[in-house]
Chain A
Amino acid sequence: MKVSELCKAAGFTLVTDKQDNDREIGGVYACDLLSWVIGRAAQDAVLVTVMTNVNVIAVAVMADLSCVVLCEGVSLDSAALQKANENGVAVLSSDKPVYETCLLINKVMCNK
Protein backbone atom coordinates (compact mmCIF):
# COMPACT_ATOMS: atom_id res chain seq x y z
CA MET A 1 0.00 0.00 0.00
CA LYS A 2 1.23 3.46 -0.89
CA VAL A 3 1.34 6.43 1.49
CA SER A 4 -1.22 8.29 -0.66
CA GLU A 5 -3.56 5.27 -0.58
CA LEU A 6 -3.27 4.99 3.21
CA CYS A 7 -4.03 8.69 3.59
CA LYS A 8 -7.18 8.42 1.48
CA ALA A 9 -8.45 5.08 2.82
CA ALA A 10 -7.95 5.98 6.49
CA GLY A 11 -9.25 9.51 6.10
CA PHE A 12 -6.00 11.11 7.30
CA THR A 13 -5.00 14.62 6.31
CA LEU A 14 -1.80 15.13 4.34
CA VAL A 15 0.19 17.79 6.20
CA THR A 16 3.21 18.01 3.93
CA ASP A 17 3.47 19.00 0.26
CA LYS A 18 2.56 16.46 -2.37
CA GLN A 19 5.84 14.63 -2.68
CA ASP A 20 7.06 11.06 -2.15
CA ASN A 21 3.50 9.95 -1.48
CA ASP A 22 3.86 7.01 -3.84
CA ARG A 23 6.21 5.36 -1.42
CA GLU A 24 5.26 1.81 -0.45
CA ILE A 25 4.46 1.17 3.25
CA GLY A 26 6.34 -1.72 4.85
CA GLY A 27 4.86 -1.92 8.36
CA VAL A 28 3.78 0.16 11.34
CA TYR A 29 5.74 1.30 14.39
CA ALA A 30 4.19 3.28 17.24
CA CYS A 31 6.41 5.06 19.79
CA ASP A 32 7.08 8.56 21.15
CA LEU A 33 10.57 8.01 22.53
CA LEU A 34 12.59 8.94 19.45
CA SER A 35 15.88 7.42 20.60
CA TRP A 36 13.93 4.18 20.87
CA VAL A 37 12.57 4.44 17.34
CA ILE A 38 16.03 4.69 15.74
CA GLY A 39 17.26 1.18 15.17
CA ARG A 40 13.93 -0.44 16.08
CA ALA A 41 11.49 0.82 13.47
CA ALA A 42 11.96 -1.16 10.27
CA GLN A 43 12.75 0.53 6.99
CA ASP A 44 9.58 1.71 5.16
CA ALA A 45 7.50 1.57 8.36
CA VAL A 46 4.87 4.16 9.22
CA LEU A 47 5.76 5.94 12.46
CA VAL A 48 2.66 6.60 14.60
CA THR A 49 3.37 9.24 17.25
CA VAL A 50 2.21 12.37 19.06
CA MET A 51 5.66 14.01 18.93
CA THR A 52 5.78 17.09 16.69
CA ASN A 53 9.31 18.49 16.85
CA VAL A 54 12.01 18.53 14.20
CA ASN A 55 13.68 15.41 15.59
CA VAL A 56 10.69 13.30 14.50
CA ILE A 57 11.55 14.16 10.91
CA ALA A 58 15.28 13.55 11.48
CA VAL A 59 14.47 10.09 12.84
CA ALA A 60 12.18 9.38 9.87
CA VAL A 61 15.08 10.25 7.54
CA MET A 62 17.66 8.25 9.52
CA ALA A 63 15.48 5.16 9.88
CA ASP A 64 14.27 5.53 6.27
CA LEU A 65 10.58 5.43 7.22
CA SER A 66 7.82 5.67 4.62
CA CYS A 67 5.81 8.34 6.46
CA VAL A 68 4.82 9.75 9.85
CA VAL A 69 1.24 9.73 11.17
CA LEU A 70 0.57 12.33 13.87
CA CYS A 71 -2.26 11.38 16.24
CA GLU A 72 -4.95 13.24 18.17
CA GLY A 73 -4.86 16.14 15.72
CA VAL A 74 -1.50 17.50 16.91
CA SER A 75 0.32 19.65 14.37
CA LEU A 76 3.99 19.79 13.43
CA ASP A 77 5.88 22.85 14.57
CA SER A 78 6.98 25.13 11.71
CA ALA A 79 10.63 24.02 11.72
CA ALA A 80 9.58 20.37 11.55
CA LEU A 81 7.15 21.03 8.70
CA GLN A 82 9.84 22.82 6.73
CA LYS A 83 12.33 19.97 7.27
CA ALA A 84 9.72 17.38 6.32
CA ASN A 85 9.11 19.14 3.01
CA GLU A 86 12.83 19.67 2.37
CA ASN A 87 13.62 16.01 3.06
CA GLY A 88 10.59 14.55 1.32
CA VAL A 89 9.11 12.96 4.44
CA ALA A 90 5.35 12.57 4.09
CA VAL A 91 3.46 13.53 7.26
CA LEU A 92 -0.19 12.59 7.75
CA SER A 93 -2.53 13.67 10.51
CA SER A 94 -5.12 11.56 12.35
CA ASP A 95 -7.66 12.91 14.84
CA LYS A 96 -7.67 9.61 16.74
CA PRO A 97 -5.38 8.50 19.60
CA VAL A 98 -2.36 6.25 18.86
CA TYR A 99 -4.09 2.91 19.49
CA GLU A 100 -7.16 3.70 17.41
CA THR A 101 -4.95 5.12 14.65
CA CYS A 102 -2.94 1.88 14.56
CA LEU A 103 -6.15 -0.17 14.42
CA LEU A 104 -7.40 1.96 11.56
CA ILE A 105 -4.15 1.58 9.62
CA ASN A 106 -4.32 -2.18 10.18
CA LYS A 107 -7.89 -2.27 8.94
CA VAL A 108 -7.22 -0.38 5.72
CA MET A 109 -4.05 -2.35 5.03
CA CYS A 110 -5.91 -5.64 5.51
CA ASN A 111 -8.71 -4.50 3.20
CA LYS A 112 -6.28 -3.66 0.45
Chain B
Amino acid sequence: MKELSLNILDIANNSVKAKASKIEICVTESKKDDFVSVDIADNGCGMDEQMLLRVIDPFVTTRTTRKVGLGIPLLRQQAIDTDGHFDISSKPSKGTKVHADFRLTHLDRPPIGDIASTVVSLIFASPDIRYIYKHKTDSGSFMLDTDQVKEQLGDIPLNEPEVITWLTEYINENLQCIEGGKI
Protein backbone atom coordinates (compact mmCIF):
# COMPACT_ATOMS: atom_id res chain seq x y z
CA MET B 1 0.00 0.00 0.00
CA LYS B 2 0.98 3.61 -0.39
CA GLU B 3 1.62 4.21 3.30
CA LEU B 4 2.38 1.96 6.27
CA SER B 5 -0.52 3.59 8.12
CA LEU B 6 -2.91 2.11 5.54
CA ASN B 7 -1.42 -1.33 6.19
CA ILE B 8 -1.94 -0.82 9.91
CA LEU B 9 -5.55 0.21 9.30
CA ASP B 10 -6.14 -2.85 7.14
CA ILE B 11 -4.58 -5.35 9.56
CA ALA B 12 -6.29 -3.79 12.61
CA ASN B 13 -9.62 -4.02 10.77
CA ASN B 14 -9.05 -7.76 10.50
CA SER B 15 -8.71 -7.77 14.31
CA VAL B 16 -12.00 -5.88 14.62
CA LYS B 17 -13.68 -8.46 12.35
CA ALA B 18 -12.16 -11.19 14.53
CA LYS B 19 -14.15 -9.68 17.44
CA ALA B 20 -11.10 -8.65 19.44
CA SER B 21 -11.70 -6.70 22.66
CA LYS B 22 -8.06 -5.62 22.81
CA ILE B 23 -5.77 -4.57 19.96
CA GLU B 24 -2.13 -3.63 20.47
CA ILE B 25 -0.34 -1.64 17.80
CA CYS B 26 3.38 -1.12 18.17
CA VAL B 27 5.46 0.93 15.73
CA THR B 28 9.22 1.02 16.13
CA GLU B 29 11.42 3.21 13.97
CA SER B 30 15.18 3.23 14.30
CA LYS B 31 17.48 5.34 12.17
CA LYS B 32 20.38 3.89 14.14
CA ASP B 33 19.55 0.30 13.21
CA ASP B 34 17.95 1.21 9.87
CA PHE B 35 14.53 -0.39 10.27
CA VAL B 36 10.85 0.30 10.85
CA SER B 37 8.64 -2.38 12.33
CA VAL B 38 4.93 -2.74 12.84
CA ASP B 39 3.41 -5.22 15.29
CA ILE B 40 -0.30 -5.76 15.65
CA ALA B 41 -1.62 -8.21 18.22
CA ASP B 42 -5.23 -8.96 19.10
CA ASN B 43 -7.20 -11.23 21.39
CA GLY B 44 -9.81 -12.02 18.75
CA CYS B 45 -11.12 -15.39 17.59
CA GLY B 46 -7.77 -16.36 16.02
CA MET B 47 -7.23 -18.90 13.27
CA ASP B 48 -6.28 -22.53 12.97
CA GLU B 49 -3.28 -23.51 10.84
CA GLN B 50 -5.39 -24.16 7.77
CA MET B 51 -7.04 -20.72 7.90
CA LEU B 52 -3.65 -19.11 8.56
CA LEU B 53 -2.29 -20.59 5.34
CA ARG B 54 -5.34 -19.28 3.50
CA VAL B 55 -4.86 -15.67 4.55
CA ILE B 56 -1.19 -15.70 3.51
CA ASP B 57 -1.93 -17.28 0.13
CA PRO B 58 -3.40 -14.61 -2.14
CA PHE B 59 -5.21 -17.25 -4.21
CA VAL B 60 -6.99 -19.75 -2.07
CA THR B 61 -9.98 -17.53 -1.44
CA THR B 62 -9.93 -15.18 -4.42
CA ARG B 63 -12.57 -17.19 -6.25
CA THR B 64 -15.02 -17.22 -3.38
CA THR B 65 -15.79 -14.22 -1.22
CA ARG B 66 -12.67 -13.41 0.73
CA LYS B 67 -13.20 -12.80 4.41
CA VAL B 68 -9.80 -11.15 4.46
CA GLY B 69 -8.57 -9.02 1.55
CA LEU B 70 -5.14 -9.09 -0.04
CA GLY B 71 -3.81 -6.92 2.79
CA ILE B 72 -1.72 -9.66 4.38
CA PRO B 73 -0.05 -10.97 1.17
CA LEU B 74 0.68 -7.40 0.05
CA LEU B 75 2.15 -6.35 3.41
CA ARG B 76 4.31 -9.48 3.40
CA GLN B 77 5.54 -8.69 -0.10
CA GLN B 78 6.39 -5.10 0.77
CA ALA B 79 8.36 -6.20 3.84
CA ILE B 80 10.34 -8.78 1.86
CA ASP B 81 10.90 -6.38 -1.06
CA THR B 82 12.46 -3.81 1.28
CA ASP B 83 14.92 -6.24 2.95
CA GLY B 84 12.56 -6.81 5.88
CA HIS B 85 10.64 -9.69 7.41
CA PHE B 86 7.05 -10.73 7.88
CA ASP B 87 5.56 -13.05 10.43
CA ILE B 88 2.04 -14.02 11.39
CA SER B 89 1.00 -16.35 14.18
CA SER B 90 -2.41 -17.22 15.50
CA LYS B 91 -4.20 -19.50 17.95
CA PRO B 92 -7.92 -20.25 17.78
CA SER B 93 -9.82 -18.38 20.53
CA LYS B 94 -6.55 -16.74 21.69
CA GLY B 95 -5.79 -14.18 19.00
CA THR B 96 -3.46 -13.23 16.18
CA LYS B 97 -0.09 -11.49 15.96
CA VAL B 98 1.23 -9.84 12.81
CA HIS B 99 4.78 -8.55 12.50
CA ALA B 100 6.32 -6.72 9.56
CA ASP B 101 9.60 -4.87 9.38
CA PHE B 102 11.21 -2.88 6.61
CA ARG B 103 14.65 -1.42 5.95
CA LEU B 104 14.17 2.26 6.76
CA THR B 105 16.45 3.54 4.01
CA HIS B 106 15.19 1.19 1.28
CA LEU B 107 13.91 3.32 -1.61
CA ASP B 108 10.76 1.22 -1.98
CA ARG B 109 9.79 1.41 1.69
CA PRO B 110 6.42 3.14 1.91
CA PRO B 111 6.35 6.27 4.09
CA ILE B 112 4.65 5.87 7.45
CA GLY B 113 1.81 8.26 6.60
CA ASP B 114 -0.53 9.85 9.11
CA ILE B 115 -0.25 7.42 12.00
CA ALA B 116 -2.16 9.62 14.48
CA SER B 117 -5.23 9.84 12.23
CA THR B 118 -5.06 6.11 11.60
CA VAL B 119 -5.04 5.19 15.29
CA VAL B 120 -7.73 7.74 16.08
CA SER B 121 -10.00 6.56 13.26
CA LEU B 122 -9.71 3.01 14.59
CA ILE B 123 -10.68 4.21 18.08
CA PHE B 124 -13.52 6.30 16.65
CA ALA B 125 -14.93 3.35 14.69
CA SER B 126 -14.80 0.89 17.60
CA PRO B 127 -14.66 2.80 20.91
CA ASP B 128 -15.47 -0.34 22.91
CA ILE B 129 -12.23 -2.01 21.90
CA ARG B 130 -9.23 -1.40 24.14
CA TYR B 131 -6.50 0.01 21.93
CA ILE B 132 -2.92 0.07 23.15
CA TYR B 133 -0.70 2.03 20.79
CA LYS B 134 3.04 2.15 21.41
CA HIS B 135 5.52 4.11 19.35
CA LYS B 136 9.27 3.80 19.83
CA THR B 137 12.12 5.72 18.25
CA ASP B 138 15.84 6.13 18.96
CA SER B 139 15.02 9.08 21.25
CA GLY B 140 12.23 7.54 23.29
CA SER B 141 8.81 5.95 23.37
CA PHE B 142 5.24 6.68 24.30
CA MET B 143 2.08 4.71 24.83
CA LEU B 144 -1.63 5.39 24.53
CA ASP B 145 -4.00 3.03 26.32
CA THR B 146 -7.68 3.76 25.68
CA ASP B 147 -8.60 2.12 29.01
CA GLN B 148 -6.59 4.80 30.83
CA VAL B 149 -8.17 7.51 28.71
CA LYS B 150 -11.64 6.13 29.51
CA GLU B 151 -10.85 6.18 33.23
CA GLN B 152 -9.99 9.85 33.04
CA LEU B 153 -12.99 10.72 30.89
CA GLY B 154 -15.55 9.13 33.17
CA ASP B 155 -18.98 9.34 31.49
CA ILE B 156 -17.78 11.11 28.34
CA PRO B 157 -17.69 8.67 25.42
CA LEU B 158 -14.37 8.06 23.69
CA ASN B 159 -15.75 8.89 20.24
CA GLU B 160 -17.01 12.35 21.23
CA PRO B 161 -15.67 14.79 18.58
CA GLU B 162 -13.73 16.86 21.14
CA VAL B 163 -12.11 13.76 22.59
CA ILE B 164 -11.13 12.60 19.11
CA THR B 165 -9.55 15.99 18.34
CA TRP B 166 -7.70 15.88 21.64
CA LEU B 167 -6.48 12.31 21.02
CA THR B 168 -5.10 13.27 17.60
CA GLU B 169 -3.26 16.25 19.06
CA TYR B 170 -2.01 14.17 21.99
CA ILE B 171 -0.53 11.54 19.67
CA ASN B 172 1.04 14.14 17.37
CA GLU B 173 2.59 16.05 20.29
CA ASN B 174 4.05 12.86 21.74
CA LEU B 175 5.36 11.81 18.34
CA GLN B 176 7.03 15.18 18.04
CA CYS B 177 8.71 14.72 21.45
CA ILE B 178 10.28 11.42 20.36
CA GLU B 179 10.87 12.64 16.78
CA GLY B 180 8.62 9.90 15.44
CA GLY B 181 6.08 9.52 12.65
CA LYS B 182 8.02 11.57 10.12
CA ILE B 183 9.71 8.81 8.17
Contacts and interface: CB of A to CB of B under 8 A. Distances in A.
The answer on A and B forming one complex is yes
Interface of A: 33-36, 38, 53-55, 57-59, 61-62, 83, 87
A58 B2 contact: no
A33 B73 contact: no
Contact of B77 (A36, A55, A62): A55
A62 B2 contact: no
B143 interface: no
Contact of B70 (A53, A62, A83, A87): A62
B113 interface: no
Contacts of A53: 77
Given A33-B1, A33-B2, A35-B2, A59 B59 contact: no
A38 B70 contact: yes
B58 A35 contact: no
Given A35-B1, A58-B58, A58-B59, 20 more contacts: A33-B1, A34-B70, A34-B74, A35-B2, A35-B70, A35-B74, A38-B70, A53-B77, A54-B58, A54-B73, A55-B58, A55-B70, A55-B73, A55-B77, A58-B70, A58-B73, A61-B59, A61-B62, A61-B63, A62-B70
Contact of B62 (A34, A35, A36, A62): A62
A54 B76 CA distance: 12
Interface bracket on B: 10 to 19
Interface string B63-89: 100000011011001000000000000
A58 B74 CA distance: 10
Q: Which label, helix, strand, loop or mixed, suits the secondary structure of the B interface? A: loop
A6 B70 CA distance: 29
A54 B58 CA distance: 8
12 contacts: A34-B70, A34-B77, A36-B1, A38-B70, A54-B58, A55-B70, A55-B74, A55-B77, A58-B70, A58-B73, A62-B62, A87-B59
A34 B2 CA distance: 10
B173 to A, nearest CB: 31
A83 B58 CA distance: 10
B62 A58 contact: yes
Contacts of B58: 54-55, 58
Contacts of A38: 70
Contacts of A59: 70
A58 B62 CA distance: 7
Nearest to B66: A62
Interface string B118-154: 0000000000000000000000000000000000000
Contacts of A34: 70, 74, 77
Contacts of A61: 59, 62-63
A108 B34 CA distance: 46
A83 B77 contact: no
